[in-house]
């Protein structure tokens, strides 16, 4: 009984997938305009990424140099 129910369940699943496929074997793909639009968006993100990294490095330098300067001032003043 278990084998029969497993077989019927697998047949129903594959039949459902086959019916939902609709017989369309061709892919549509992207048009040239859509590809250019996506490429333009990627370029915008990349050109904003470089200044962001430079800003992050500058902030980290400022944080660590300020703590070193503060430590140096505390030892000189004592």
pLDDT tens column, 34-72: 999 999 999 999 999 999 999 999 999 999 887 666 666
The whole-model pTM stands at 0.42
Q: Is the pLDDT of residue 27 over 90?
A: no
Mean pLDDT for all residues in the chain: 80
Q: What is the pLDDT of residue 3?
A: 83
Could you state, in order of their start, the residue ranges of all structural domains in the chain?
31-78
The residue count of the chain comes to: 78
Q: What is the pLDDT of residue 72?
A: 64
Residue 63: half-sphere exposure toward Cβ, Cα within 13 Å: 6
Q: What is the pLDDT of residue 39?
A: 95
The DSSP call for residue 31 is -
């Amino acid at each position: 009984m278990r084998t029969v129910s497993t077989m019927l369940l697998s047949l129903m699943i594959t039949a459902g997938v086959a019916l939902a496929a609709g017989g369309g074997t061709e892919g549509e793909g992207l048009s040239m305009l859509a590809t250019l639009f996506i490429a333009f968006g990627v370029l915008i993100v990349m050109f904003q990424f470089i200044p962001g990294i430079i800003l992050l490095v500058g902030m980290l330098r400022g944080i660590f140099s300020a703590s070193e300067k503060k430590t140096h001032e505390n030892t000189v003043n004592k």
